[in-house]
Amino acid sequence: MHQTINGLRPLGIGSFTIHRFNSETVSNRHLYGQAADFELLVGFAEHNGLVFEIMQPVNGTDSLMAAWLEANGNQAGVQHIAFDMGDLPMDRRIAQMKERGFEVAMEGVWKGKQGQCRFTFFDTLLKGAGTCFETIEFSDDWEEPEGEICPNVEEESTNGKQ
């Protein structure tokens, strides 16, 4: 994660807020319809209206990200793109993607300081799109939970911290 954040810094992207996605912070974790036990570090940064997300598997192999890294190593590139499907409820989004031939690959519900964020990844990579597609639905009362601010990873790396 820190290597990627450092690579994005020269582009003006950062600072990142890092969250831990695990059994305490994400419920209803599934991979291809089966209960999944994954832990991820997830870093978010906004730049010019785009949100950049970096995900690093920490524990468990039950995630699309772990499978991606296993197949692609350190040269993984872009594993997924999140897209907005307007005001459609998540169940309708899933139905539309199924109508287009794409099944749910991974999903969960991230607990906010208040409210929740439901995320769903589809099997678009396996169907030839070159990457996974994700859609996210925030509850009306969503407040992002506290995360670790990572403003300058480069300095931390030079000081022996990572």
Task: For residue 124, give both structure tokens.
Answer: 């678009």
Tell which residue, 82, 44, 87, has the closest CA to residue 64: 82
So what's the pLDDT on residue 78?
A: 81
Tell which residue, 106, 110, 107, has the closest CA to residue 24: 110
So what's the pLDDT on residue 42?
A: 95
Task: For residue 111, give both structure tokens.
Answer: 């607990």
So what's the pLDDT on residue 126?
A: 80
| CATH, residue 27 | 3.10.180.10
Tell which residue, 64, 36, 38, has the closest CA to residue 134: 64
Q: Name residue 51's amino acid.
A: V
Total domains, the chain: 1
Q: CA 54, CA 130: separation in Å to the nearest integer?
A: 18
CA distances from 28 to 73, 75, 111 (A): 28, 30, 11
In this structure, the strands spanning 132-138 and 80-83 are parallel
Tell which residue, 147, 146, 124, has the closest CA to residue 135: 124
So what's the pLDDT on residue 138?
A: 93
Cα dihedral across residues 7, 46, 112, 155: positive or negative:
positive
Q: CA 118, CA 29: separation in Å to the nearest integer?
A: 10
So what's the pLDDT on residue 158?
A: 41
So what's the pLDDT on residue 20?
A: 94
pLDDT in tens, the chain (162 residues): 888 888 888 999 988 999 999 999 999 999 999 999 999 999 999 989 899 999 999 977 789 998 888 888 766 678 889 987 888 999 999 999 999 999 999 999 999 999 999 999 999 988 888 889 999 999 999 999 999 887 654 544 444 433
So what's the pLDDT on residue 33?
A: 94
User: Is residue 120 a contact partner of residue 102, using CB atoms and an 8 Å limit?
Assistant: no
Q: Residue 112's domain spans which residues? A: 2-158
